[in-house]
Structure 1
Amino acid sequence: MSSKIRFQLSTMMFLEFFVWGAWFVTMGTYLLQPSGAGGLGVKGIQVGEAYLSQSLGAVIAPFIVGLIADRFFSAQRILGVLHLVGAVLLWGASVAASFTGFYLLILVYMILFMPTLALTNSIALRQMTDPKKEFPFIRVLGTVGWIVAGLIIGFLHWEGSHQLNLTFKMAAVASLVLGFQSFTLPDTLPLKKNVKVSVSELLGLDAIKLLKNRDYLVFFIASMAICIPTAFYYNFTNPFLNEVGMTAAAAKQTIGQFLEVVFMLLMPFFFKKLGVKKMLGLGMLAWAIRYICFAYGYESSGLFWLLFVGIAIHGVCYDYFFVTGQIYTDNKAGQAFQSAAQGLITLGTYGVGMLIGYVISGPIVDHWQLADGSHDWKTIWLIPAGIAAVVLVFFMAAFREKKTDSALPESI
């Protein structure tokens, strides 16, 4: 790969996740803040509805990529169009005067944005001669972009000064830049143009055959179920941290992304030592521990450090369950329908699982709102901790590991 293409792809990844991280982390705080204090003054249930747009986008994304990008148009052109339209939608969201208007804009935006995650991966991988060695160094720029967005929000004090509407404008500008930059990327032609494929192959339905395997079915159910408590984190962590008095919360949340890189580097060692079952169990356990840290970390200034523990173990929560699950899925699917299998697990987790989590988390937060407008966060966080613990017990009791399940691909 030439230095020019490497720079183009790195910039693409940086901007892709900068755009997402610029508004997604603090959206809940923005929506909950009173309309007179820079927000929209909604309840928790509306926050859940807003984040639910991610799940709807995840459900629709495979159809856009599979039915359009793979067959009709070059990936970089679709990426450019989606981000240019996205820039307009994000700017509109920043000036929306009501939740209804805001929600409609964000819903359409996420339906258009979620396919870009697959498109950026496709564009990058198609330019590489050795993806196993080259892709990680390109993809890590995405994590850097997410971190930089959070640090900017913290540095400019947008949370404390009630100017979180500016996060959407910042994301809109970055999306505009990425939209135009996309048209300069190397041409990535559709792979299946003029190729006859079945309807089930187009929709990724062939991967459903995996669910006939008892252990994979147990894993699939556990994956969906663990995403129910996961949704609580994305919805309400930033509002929670701001409410309990953490300054520049969005910036401090990037600690999780910094350490995610470290945990990812340690992952091959733990994978070989523990195997797939214990790795998946460790990831589920980390979600329960994270929420227990949140439940007790704010009650006393002497335990405030627990909040940072809950933030810092993001790499274990995410990498050791979701990435391990992707490896396990690859090993089970084989080369016959690897892409369809990854689409299936994405649909089950980011689609169905988180959708349920987004639906139930809002009413739970509203139920434990106190008379002064604050919340009983101890009770709120113990609920997803309990759900994660139940899923962990179910998985460890029902899942049976085979030696072939723990085969480690060279790309990790």
Structure 2
Amino acid sequence: MSIKLRLTIMNFFQFFVWGIWLISLGGYMGQVFGPIEGSSIGLSIGRTYGSMGWASLFMPALLGIIADKYLSAQKVLGISHIIAGIAIYFATRATNSTEMYWIIFATSCFYMPTIALNNSVSYAVLNKFSFDVQKTFTPIRVWGTVGFVIAMWITDLTDWKSNTLQFVFASVSMIITGLFCFTLPDVPAENKNSNQSLTSKFGLDSFVLFKQKKMAIFFVFAMLLGAALQITNMFGDTFIRDFGSNPQYQGTFGVEHSVFIISLSQISETLFILTIPFFLKRFGIKQVMIFSMIAWVLRFALFGIGNPGSGVIFLILSMIVYGMAFDFFNISGSLFVEKQTDSKIRSSAQGLFMLMTNGIGAIIGGELAGRTVSYFTIGNKIQWSNVWFTFAAYAFVIAIAFAILFKYKHDPKELENLEH
């Protein structure tokens, strides 16, 4: 089996195992625990998703140190997947939201670091076999998104999203993925960080960027937008499924296959990635980030007016604009950090960007979304239009504030290499 094929398989399953449960978890918790926990279920779902943010604050750095100094990276990747697979199996036995919180937190402590480790192993293996990393890795990584989408489809079409079989499926898939990692070429520990301070090992030296007003503002807004990213992951499936309680929408394709509908978001994501070089060169990072924020406004507003019946077109449009909302923020933001930071702290700066979005942003997003849903829950009935319009207003305020506060002069020549 060729090196590229093996890495493609690894990237496919890296995100396949996440797609099995990430989108459907909120709907499952609402269905199983909601009748017992009432209006507090929204807050419980938000905090459970927020546990991934807490795990992202420290575990990637810890496992990264192990991979740098003590154990081959592909072995750390494999062991992490296996432990995460064992942890998520216990979700089949969760009887309340508190138990589910700690199970997802334990799972995330070992799964979330694998996202960065997957990239590190891929880069190292490609370099080891003299491939051009920039040209070779992108088409390999795309299969990760394909894996995520296919996992969502399987979970949806089998209706495992409504029962504990999704966690059994995820557990088995994670363990198999972990075992596959051991078959990859060796990426030995090199003790390359042995002379670094603990601050450097955890990527904290990049916090010096907060001394630059432009970068400080950028990272704060990255955190605020990171909070928006979590909202539809948490409640998108719950929202669409909830229409099933209304006889008007019972049996509609959207209600029966809510996860399939949401998967259109990930398909849109793969398409918008291709447009990033053009938009960045033509408009610059500030305008592209504003486009992302406006897309988030539309994402939430279209949810607010959509339904699985006559309003299904609005749900589909919401899925389409998600591609712009996600990519123009995550990918473009990462490229901006790459261009604006010194090579000595570039990796740490990328880590800081991820910490602000997937760490602190996820925690804030979980709490914010959970409290909003709980506020608009009367009895066991969630006023979804109010929820989504509130989130749309949040994104709109962020867009206005960013346009006013973030000062950046676009130089088209700065990003010329993106088109090649």
Change (3 A) 1:224 1:409: farther
* Residue aligning to 1:136: 138
Corresponding position of 2:84 = 86
Given the superposition, is the C-alpha separation of residues 216 and 35 from structure 1 closer, same or farther in structure 2, using an over 3 Å criterion? Answer: closer
CA distance in structure 1 between the partners assigned to 2:181 and 2:111 by the alignment: 14
1:230 match: secondary structure: helix
Residue 284 (structure 2) pairs with residue 279 (structure 1): no
2:120 aligns to what? 122
2:257 corresponds, among 245, 248, 252, to: 248
1:302, CA displacement in angstroms?
3.5
Distance 1:168 1:49, change over 3 A: same
Q: How many residues align?
A: 404
Query: What is aligned with 1:223?
Result: 222
Matched-pair contact (CA < 8 Å) for 2:283–2:410:
no
CA contact (8 A) 2:34 2:41 kept: no
Which residue pairs with 1:386 in the alignment? 393
The Cα shift of 1:65 comes to 3.5
Task: State the one-letter code of the partner of 1:78.
Answer: V
User: Once the two structures are superposed, what CA deviation does each residue of 1:15-54 show, in whole Å capped at 9, x if it has no partner?
Assistant: 11011110110000111113599x9987111101210111
Question: Is residue 357 from structure 1 mapped to residue 365 from structure 2 by the alignment?
Answer: yes
How far off is 1:404 after superposition?
5.2
Shift of 1:364: 1.6
Instruction: Report if the CA contact (8 A) 2:85-2:174 is conserved.
Output: yes
Contact preservation (8 Å) 1:25, 1:238: yes
Work out the CA distance in 2 between the residues paired with 1:408 and 1:302: 45
How far, CA to CA, are the matches of 2:402 and 2:166 in structure 1? 39
Q: Among the aligned pairs, what percent are the same residue?
A: 30
Q: What 5-or-longer segments of structure 1 have no aligned partner?
A: none
Question: Does residue 1:268 correspond to 2:266, yes or no?
Answer: no
The partner residue of 1:27 within 10, 20, 25 is 25
- Given that 2:269 and 2:324 are in contact with CA atoms closer than 8 Å, whether structure 1 keeps it comes out as yes
With the length of structure 2 as denominator, give the TM-score of the two structures.
0.91
**2:343 partner SS:** coil
1:156 maps onto 2:164 in alignment: no
Instruction: Find the aligned partners of 1:8 and 1:94 in 2 and give their Cα distance.
Output: 31
SS at match of 1:170: helix
- The answer as to whether partners of 1:28 and 1:235 remain within 8 angstroms in 2 is yes
RMSD: 2.1
Call closer, same or farther: CA 1:409–1:335 in 2, change over 3 Å. Answer: farther
Pair 411,123 (structure 1): closer, same or farther in 2 beyond 3 Å: farther
Matched, 1:377 2:384: yes
Whether contact under 8 Å (1:327, 1:409) holds in the other structure is no
1:374 maps to amino acid: K
Distance 1:57 1:411 in 2: 36
User: What is the DSSP-based 3-state SS (H/G/I as helix, E as strand, rest coil) of the residue aligned with 2:160?
Assistant: coil
In structure 2, the CA distance between the partners of 1:88 and 1:43, relative to structure 1 (3 Å rule), is same
Do the aligned residues in 2 keep the contact of 1:19 with 1:171 (CA within 8 Å)?
A: yes
Matched AA of 2:203: G
In structure 2, do the counterparts of structure 1 residues 194 and 334 end up closer, same or farther at CA, with 3 Å as the change threshold?
A: closer
In structure 1, distance between residues paired with 2:135 and 2:171: 32
**Structure 1 residue 408, shift from structure 2 partner:** 5.0
- 1:312 paired with 2:315, answer no
* In 2: Cα distance, 1:200 partner to 1:369 partner: 44
In the alignment, residue 69 of structure 2 is paired with which amino acid?
A: R
Post-superposition shift, 1:231? 2.3
**1:67 is aligned to 2:65:** yes
Distance in structure 2 (CA, Å) of the matches to 1:194 and 1:54: 26
Alignment of 1:195-206 (within 5 A): 195-206=194-205
| Alpha-carbon spacing, 1:76–1:294, altered in 2? closer, same or farther (3 Å) | same
| 1:344 equivalent in alignment to 2:352 | yes
- 1:105-138 deviations in Å (ceiling 9; x for gaps): 2111101111111111011011222111000111
1:101 to 99, 102, 119: 99
Runs (5+) with no aligned partner, structure 2: 245-253
Which residue, out of 367, 370, 374, partners 1:366? Answer: 374
Paired with 1:131 and 1:193, the residues of 2 have a C-alpha distance of: 21
Note closer, same or farther for the CA distance 1:35–1:50 as it changes in structure 2 (3 Å cut): closer
Pair 1:14–1:35, CA change in 2 (3 A): same
TM-score using structure 1 length: 0.93
Which residue, out of 272, 288, 291, partners 2:300? 291
1:65·1:118 contact (CA, 8 Å) conserved in 2?
A: no
Letter of the 2:405 partner, please give it.
A
Q: Which residue is 1:174 aligned to?
A: 173
Amino acid at match of 2:90: G
1:181, distance to aligned residue in structure 2 (A): 0.8
Q: Displacement, 1:84?
A: 1.3
Instruction: String of CA shifts for 1:315-368, please: whole Å, max 9, x gaps.
Output: 101111111110110011132211100011111111112211101211221221
Match of 2:341 in 1: 333
Match of 2:185 in 1: 186
Q: Please state how far the C-alpha of 1:103 moved relative to its aligned partner.
A: 2.1
Q: 2:8 aligns with which of 10, 13, 17?
A: 10
Aligned partners of 2:199 and 2:205 also within 8 Å: yes
Letter in 1 for 2:390: I
CA distance in 2, matches of 1:411, 1:116: 30
Instruction: Judge conservation of contact 1:296–1:303 (CA < 8 Å) in 2.
Output: yes
Question: In structure 1, how many angstroms separate the alpha carbons of the residues matched to 2:416 and 2:9?
Answer: 29
Change (3 A) 1:93 1:283: same
